[in-house]
Structure formats: structure tokens, C-alpha cells
Amino acid sequence: MDALKLIAQSSMKENAPELSIGDTVKVHVRIAEGDKSRIQIFEGTVIAKKHGGINETFTVRRVAHGCGIERVFPVHSPVVEKVEVVRSGKVRRAKLYYLRKRVGKAAKIKEMLK
């Protein structure tokens, strides 16, 4: 069991992104197309963080052309190049699944003033 923990800790990113629930983020994702690869930016609101350690994931939601899109990203994946926090949100929940039912301005999150 200790060997598994050592392997997990060695493969974790040392510069893991500092993000929290309600933040609007830009996730830079590496996409392989044939023998080439490019970076695609997925911008949206963090609605959930799950697990912990090497298995930690976060879910980002955005609305594109009136259709809600959610993607789950592993924090320590080599596919995720970097995560930029655009703005911090002020929320009182650990999971923001209620945003799925809201449309337009009702789905907005207040910005946390520092």
C-alpha cells in the first residue's frame, strides 16, 4: 500500500491549480488530432470538485448556443496544460448542480470581492 502512495505522490503535479467552487476558469486542454496536437480553451464555471489526491477532478459547466456543456477534468492529468482563474465566485455550497435548472441571469454567480 505504501508503494502505491509513493507512485501516486510522484506523479502528482507540483503546480496544481488553486481553484474553488463557483470560480470562472479557463482550462487549457491539449487535443491530439492525428500526429499534431493543439491547445483548446474551455471556459466555464466550476460546479464540483470530487475525490482527492491523485484522483482529484473538477467539473466545469458552460452554456454554448443555448445548450449546457459540462466537462470533467482530472487535476493531475497531462492533458490539462494550465487552469486560469478568470474570476472568483461567492457561493455557499460545495456542489452547484442547481445551476443546471437555471437559465440566463438566474444562473449567474456573484463575484467575490477581495
* CATH (one of 3.10.20.30, 1.10.580.10, 3.30.360.10, 2.30.30.790) for 2-104: 2.30.30.790
Give pTM, 2 decimals.
0.89
- List pLDDT tens digits, range 34-85: 999 999 999 999 999 999 888 999 999 999 999 999 999 999 999 999 999 9
pLDDT band at 27 (very low <50, low <70, confident <90, very high): very high
Look over the chain and give the mean of its residue pLDDT values, rounded to a whole number.
Answer: 93
Query: Residue 7: CB partners within 8 Å, gap ≥ 6?
Result: none
pLDDT of amino acid 20:
95
